[in-house]
Amino acid sequence: MVATPIGNILDITLRAIYLLKEAQHIFAEDTRVSKKLLNFYNITTPLVACHEYNEISPSIISSITKEGVYALISDAGTPLISDPGYRLVNWCLDNGIDVFPVPGACSAIAGLSVAGLGTDLFLFYGFLPPKSGARKAALKNTKSSTATSIFFESPLRLISALTDMLEIFGDRFCCVAKEITKIFEKFQRGRLSELIEHFSEHKLKGEFIIIVSGNKKNEIDEGEIRAYLIELLKNNSLKKSVEKASAHCNISRNSAYEQALKIRKQTP
């Protein structure tokens, strides 16, 4: 299972290049996409199309022997992560054929590493259901988890997915990663409500990853938020107080700002 670049063609290991050159065959999700990578590194190993509709077809499995070395790659990133290959791996294991990983790029992990969210406990969910009803049902199953959640999403459904998350999760902190390692790579961080507003004003293209903070075990009530803001405002600017309250109390910056203004007006 050989990981390939997720965008920047240089993000591949020396071991991966070596094995791709030494393999008897390379099984690829889309040979047209993979051919560009192989040409760049002067890899001439025969390329065979292997996707979800034929991964354990006679034409594929008949070409695999215990003595040979074969590589499976996806269009980008680590094979089987929201890509085909699961059935082929299990066929190999059932038939006594060793399977081993050649690690490399993974967009979910790359996004998490710079999201600014907890990494001690995280869950990867891949693509959510395209329809809102099914998507909300899936999100409800994750609502109580304290782990950071990672989702893939298309540009066509990004805003609707963020909107459903806001409804189910509340206004949690979130990072949306766009086109990781590519020319138009960008990371947008903020509350779900803020990100919905931001992306509603932009034309959306590319591949997106949504990384959302987990559920806080201890909810902070309005009185505690107010008391916290009062203490912050004694020694901090309005902007700094709002930022700290938003992060500490798990509320939007707008909400923290409105409460901070009220406190300032009431304070002699």
pTM comes to 0.79
Output the pLDDT for position 153: 96
pLDDT for 219: 55
In a domain, 4, yes or no: no
Least confident of 7-16, 47-56, 255-264: 255-264
199 pLDDT above the threshold of 70:
yes
In terms of domains, do 87 and 113 share one?
no
* 57 within a domain of the structure (yes/no): yes
Q: The domain spanning residue 198 has which CATH number?
A: 3.30.950.10
Q: Is residue 9 part of a domain?
A: no
The bridge status of strand 70-73 relative to strand 25-28 is parallel
Query: Where does a domain end: 94, 127, 161?
Result: 94
Residues 83 and 113 in one domain: no
Residue that finishes a domain, picked among 65, 94, 123: 94
Least confident range from 76-85, 131-140, 241-250: namely: 241-250
Give the chain's mean pLDDT.
92
In this prediction, residue 136 carries a pLDDT of: 95
pLDDT at 54: 93
Q: What number of other Cβ atoms are within 10 A of residue 34's Cβ?
A: 22
| CATH assignment of the domain containing 83 | 3.40.1010.10
Domain that holds residue 25: 14-94
Write the pLDDT tens digit of every residue in 106-141. 999 999 999 999 999 999 999 999 999 999 999 999
Regarding whether 244 and 175 lie in a shared domain, the answer is: no
Do 32 and 90 lie in one domain? The reply is yes
Least confident of 85-94, 216-225, 229-238: 216-225
Give percent of the chain with pLDDT exceeding 70. 97
Domain count along the chain: 3
Neighbours of 96 (CB within 10 A): 7
Could you read off the pLDDT of 151-186 as tens digits, one per residue?
Answer: 999 999 999 999 999 998 888 999 999 999 999 999
Q: C-alpha distances in angstroms, 151 versus 8, 19, 113, 212, 223?
A: 21, 31, 14, 8, 34
**Amino acid symbol at 242:** V
Q: b vs e for 148-173, b when ≥16 Cβ sit within 10 Å of the residue's Cβ?
A: bbbbbbeeebbbbbbbbbbebbbbbb
Confidence at residue 45, expressed as pLDDT on a 0 to 100 scale? 97
Do 229 and 192 sit in the same domain of this protein?
no
